[in-house]
Amino acid sequence: MSVQVINLNGQPEYAVLPYADYQRLLEQAEMLEDVEAYDNARADLAGGKEELIPSNVALSLIRGDNPIRVWREYRKLTQIQLAKEAGITDSFLSQIEAGKRKASVVVLSAIASALKLDVDDILR
């Protein structure tokens, strides 16, 4: 790699290099960012901050199935168990899952917490 250094007041100020070398350095920097992101994701998985979910859960969510029901079933909870954990009645939970009633932010937060999720994860 040939580099021309331009000084300003006796100090290096700029480095001029062939464009191909610049492109290669840019690709290497992007690769390093990818490796760091991968390492961070692995650490988050190992530390319990993130989880892997099966494709059938992701597909159900993409398809538009009720996210509360999808996550409840994935967590192997009954409506009664989730409702009790969230501090609501099972009939209210059933109506939320069926789309017959809307839940307040407080209720959604309680449901998300019981499912060990963020509220964003249970919103359509």
DSSP string, the chain: ---EEEEETTEEEEEE--HHHHHHHHHHHHHHHHHHHHHHHHHHHHTTSS----HHHHHHHHHT--HHHHHHHHTT--HHHHHHHHTS-HHHHHHHHHTSS---HHHHHHHHHHTT--GGGG--
Looking at the structure of the chain, the number of domains it has is: 2
d(CA 33, CA 8): 31
Same domain, 21 and 66: no
If asked whether residues 67 and 109 sit together in one domain, one would say yes
What's residue 13's pLDDT?
95
pTM above 0.85, yes or no: no
Tokens of 27: 């690709």
Same domain? For 69 and 38 the reply is no
- Does 34 share its domain with 90? no
CATH of the domain at 109: 1.10.260.40
Residue type, 79: Q
Output the tens digit of pLDDT for each of the chain's 124 residues.
889 999 999 999 999 999 999 999 999 999 999 999 999 999 999 999 999 999 999 999 999 999 999 999 999 999 999 999 999 999 999 999 999 999 999 999 999 999 999 999 999 7
69 & 17 share domain: no
Nearest 5°: phi and psi at 15?
A: -125, 125
Name the residue range of residue 83's domain.
55-122
Nearest Cα neighbor of 4 from 39, 98, 12, 86 is 12
Residue 65 and residue 10 share a domain: no
Q: For residues 61 and 117, state if they share a domain.
A: yes
